[in-house]
């Protein structure tokens, strides 16, 4: 399969794929497969089942967050509170 992807999108994809799956052989393929399966699942209206270690997945997603867990919890609470209020207006 060959696809044309914007350079910025490709760069972000490569960076995140390597953060999550490592710098070894096959990390881009694994990330691409996960992305395509997620897209197919969403397009078909099905719920995708998560496979793997959820702690590792979260760790990879939060790798760039520069705050401790307590501060992160408070920020998340503020964020969700503001979204709830916006939905009511």
Write down the domain spans for the chain.
Answer: 7-88
Looking from the CA of 82 toward its CB, the CA atoms found within 13 Å total 6
**Average pLDDT, stretch 42-55?**
75
User: Cα–Cα distance between 3 and 25 in angstroms, integer?
Assistant: 20
Is 22's pLDDT higher than 90? Answer: no
Look-up of token digits 């990879």: 60
Dihedral of CA 33/39/40/41: which sign?
Answer: positive
CB atoms within 10 A of CB 44: 8
In the numeric block, the tokens 């209206």 are attached to 45
Q: Please give the helix or strand (H or E) that residue 62 lies within, else none.
A: none
> What average pLDDT is seen over the chain?
82
Q: What is the pTM of this model?
A: 0.49
What local confidence, expressed as pLDDT, does residue 89 receive?
A: 52
């Amino acid at each position: 399969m060959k696809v044309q992807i914007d350079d910025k999108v490709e760069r972000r994809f490569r960076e995140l794929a390597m953060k999550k799956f490592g710098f070894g052989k096959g990390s881009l393929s694994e990330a691409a497969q996960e992305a395509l399966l997620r897209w197919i699942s969403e397009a078909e209206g099905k719920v995708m089942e998560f496979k793997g270690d959820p702690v590792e997945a979260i760790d990879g997603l939060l790798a760039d967050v520069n705050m401790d867990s307590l501060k992160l919890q408070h920020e998340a609470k503020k964020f969700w509170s503001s979204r709830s209020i916006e939905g009511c207006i």
